[in-house]
Amino acid sequence: MSQHGHNASSATSSVASVAGTAKAAASSSAAGGHGGAARVQHVPVHGEYVWYAILGLLGVATIANAAYLAWATYRRYRSRRAPPKSTRRPSGRVALRRIPQAILSGSRIASYRLRIPYLEMTLLELTLVVLYFAGCLAWVLAPTDNIKPRVNLQPNNWALNAGKLAAGQIPLAVLLALKNNPVTWLTGLSHEKLVLMHRMVSRCIFVLTWMHLIGEYYRSPAKLLSANWKIAGLVGGVAQTITTLFGIQAIRRRYYEVFYSTHVACILIFIICIHIHAAPKKYDVFVWPAWIIWGFDRLVRGGRYLLLNVILKPKDPKARIESLGAHGLRVTIKRRIPGGWKAGQHVFLAFPKLGLESHPFTIGNVCEKDDNGEAEMVFIIRAMGGQTRKLNELAIPEGNCELTAFFDGPYGHPEDIRPYSTCVFIAGGTGVTYTIARMHQLFKDVRSSDACATRVNFVWAVRTEVEYHWLSAELSRIVALAPPSVSVAVEVYITGTRQATMESLPTLDKAFDLEKDGASWTQPEPVDRPNERVEEISGTAQGSGASTPTKDEYYESGTVTPITPCGDGLPGPRIVRRFCRPDVRKLLEEEITASSGAVAVDVSGPDGLVDAVRTALSQPFAGPLATLKGAPTVLLSVEQFRM
């Protein structure tokens, strides 16, 4: 009897040892009747396991980005070495050797172009969200003991697992929110795109945090607030709940300033409180990396801020703000920027006289340095409220004014379109600041034999001629620089009526990018337009600028009083103005069908326009079957900020 008790005690000790070390252990049977051995396996849940899956996904994205860069480099190298081939029309017969291209076309449609109704997410984004949440919940609720299979469903078990996984993902959430992001260097995804993943991880932490709190409550309500470190955990959970509620899209976009202020304060409270909460259980090892990552980013941004605005101080540190009428502003600054910037990137501008807040603005020109090493950056802004409204009020009395300005950047990672034979640029309103700079840079690359483009189609939709005049001179100048080897088509669609005067136009500000979220776009019906008028304009020299109204009638077709262009003799392709709405589907189908090689499509503007382009490029003419029959593959690049 005493021998049996000794063996049972030994088995209990062995199981306890297994639970602590996550290794298999054997328990001896009782003497006299139990000759078998029961093997117990206990698998503890560790927060770093989720990181293994994340690092694996990051590795796949890095490999894909490296493969794309290698292909782009090879394409440019071959275009310099080999003479251009004659245009070959698709044969219409299925070619099995084009299966890889067909798979690429199908995957791009399924992953990036198909949008889920009411969620404003692509299929790939939704898939990642579902898999990420499912993976985290699986780790929280997974069985850990083959003797007691349902122990994982007890609150004291899944509450602890949820808390550890939530703490383990805090560094990832901080990493994905950085402006200077190493993930961008590896994957080619810019910070404004990674912010979508940041929200996904943050909401997962939110769910796991409340699972932890609820589980601990059911485990022992009396002990929930029995110590200061437990109270700190509850305060952190409440702080994160507040910032999550303000982060809901409808609230975030309507009250962005409130969201931003509460987000900074509440996230700081959350991390501090979670650090205090995790320290007694030695789980603060998951929180320390968040402080290190955030501190490194602050150090890099602060150092670059001093370098660009103080150490490399320009001759004139002030920005010139010009009133263009109709609440439009042109902001011009000159700075010495080591390495310059890529066409399509953006910076954060701040005017100390108006406050310390800064907002993102897309640079509307390419980097061209003068003899002093300074480069001029031009921004087109439409005054809305807050800082931009104050700028407009300062500039209106004299037509212009000068203010000291500081900037941080450049940021953004535009797609490399140099390897593509056909490049299509589609913009609505102030989205043209992105596409016009991209087209200008492409022309420069073609002239230096560093790009493969042979066809370029530039489409810009505006509501009034006033908006067109803001950028007409710059557009004419850039079009006149088109290389002779490139076939260029430039079409400006004026979609509004003459009654839409500048006083009736809604005010908008690029700083908040609401012009890309509030406009409504509907595809034109394929009917004849007897009243449609077309004008051809040669190179002109006029004032530049842009704006973006956001009402539904933005894209209503109509007629306006024609203007008399002021030609200055600049050669180059003509700019065609059409007084109607563009048929995006027809335009893209014609370009893809006529292209002799891969096609790149850049779009920037309201959500409706972007969705119309996505829908068009999901049609059969750009699908995998068409690719098998000889149609080119299509790369779609979208420039849209999301608040």
Q: pLDDT tens across 276-300, in order? A: 998 888 888 888 999 999 888 889 8
In this structure, is residue 28 part of a structural domain?
A: no
295 and 166 part of one domain: yes
Lowest-confidence region among 234-248, 329-343, 530-544, 549-563: 549-563
Q: In this structure, what CATH number is given to the domain that contains residue 375?
A: 2.40.30.10
Please report the pLDDT score of residue 528 as a whole number.
42
The answer, yes or no, to whether residue 8 has pLDDT greater than 80, is no
Within 10 Å of residue 37's Cβ, how many Cβ atoms? 10
Please report the pLDDT score of residue 470 as a whole number.
81
In this structure, is residue 540 part of a structural domain?
A: no
Please report the pLDDT score of residue 352 as a whole number.
86
The answer, yes or no, to whether residue 637 has pLDDT greater than 80, is yes
In this structure, is residue 589 part of a structural domain?
A: yes
Confidence band for 359, pLDDT divided at 50, 70 and 90? confident
In this structure, is residue 214 part of a structural domain?
A: yes
Q: In this structure, what CATH number is given to the domain that contains residue 144?
A: 1.20.120
What domain range includes position 463?
A: 422-497+572-639
Rounded to two decimals, the pTM is 0.78
192 and 266 part of one domain: yes
The answer, yes or no, to whether residue 539 has pLDDT greater than 90, is no
Lowest-confidence region among 118-127, 205-214, 264-273, 397-406: 118-127
342 and 294 part of one domain: no
In this structure, is residue 503 part of a structural domain?
A: no
Q: Which residues contact 6 (CB under 8 A, 6 or more apart)?
A: none
Q: pLDDT tens across 54-108, in order? A: 888 889 989 988 998 998 888 888 877 765 555 556 667 888 888 988 898 888 8
> Do 544 and 416 touch, CB atoms closer than 8 A?
no
587 and 459 part of one domain: yes
The answer, yes or no, to whether residue 208 has pLDDT greater than 70, is yes
Please report the pLDDT score of residue 47 as a whole number.
58
How far apart are the C-alpha atoms of 239 and 189, rounded to whole Å? 29
380 and 492 part of one domain: no
Please report the pLDDT score of residue 642 as a whole number.
53
Mean pLDDT of 495-513: 45
> Do 427 and 605 touch, CB atoms closer than 8 A?
yes
Query: How many folded domains does the chain comprise?
Result: 3
Please report the pLDDT score of residue 541 as a whole number.
35
In this structure, is residue 32 part of a structural domain?
A: no
> Do 462 and 495 touch, CB atoms closer than 8 A?
yes
Q: In this structure, what CATH number is given to the domain that contains residue 488?
A: 3.40.50.80
The β-bridge partners of 115 are 122
Confidence band for 569, pLDDT divided at 50, 70 and 90? very low
230 and 299 part of one domain: yes
Confidence band for 520, pLDDT divided at 50, 70 and 90? very low
Highest mean pLDDT among 90-104, 152-166, 366-380: 366-380
168 and 279 part of one domain: yes
> Do 250 and 234 touch, CB atoms closer than 8 A?
no
Please report the pLDDT score of residue 388 as a whole number.
78
Strand 455-462 with 422-428, pairing: parallel
Please report the pLDDT score of residue 14 as a whole number.
40
**If we measure between CA atoms, which residue out of 620, 621, 615 comes closest to residue 636?**
615
Give SS3 for 505.
coil
Query: Domain ends where: 265, 281, 307?
Result: 307
The answer, yes or no, to whether residue 489 has pLDDT greater than 60, is yes
The answer, yes or no, to whether residue 2 has pLDDT greater than 70, is no
Average pLDDT of the chain, as a whole number:
77
The answer, yes or no, to whether residue 434 has pLDDT greater than 90, is yes
CA quadruple 493, 499, 503, 507: dihedral sign:
negative
The answer, yes or no, to whether residue 419 has pLDDT greater than 50, is yes
Give SS3 for 430.
helix
The answer, yes or no, to whether residue 191 has pLDDT greater than 50, is yes
CA quadruple 198, 199, 200, 203: dihedral sign:
positive
Q: Which residue has the higher pLDDT, 196 or 513?
A: 196
> Do 460 and 435 touch, CB atoms closer than 8 A?
yes
Query: Domain ends where: 386, 411, 436?
Result: 411
In this structure, is residue 82 part of a structural domain?
A: no
Q: Which residue has the higher pLDDT, 141 or 590?
A: 590
Q: pLDDT tens across 19-67, in order? A: 343 333 333 333 334 444 444 444 455 556 777 888 888 899 899 889 9
Mean pLDDT of 335-351: 90
How far apart are the C-alpha atoms of 374 and 522, rounded to whole Å? 43
596 and 467 part of one domain: yes
Mean pLDDT of 195-210: 89
Q: pLDDT tens across 116-134, in order? A: 877 777 888 888 888 888 8
Q: Which residues contact 527 (CB under 8 A, 6 or more apart)?
A: none
221 and 240 part of one domain: yes
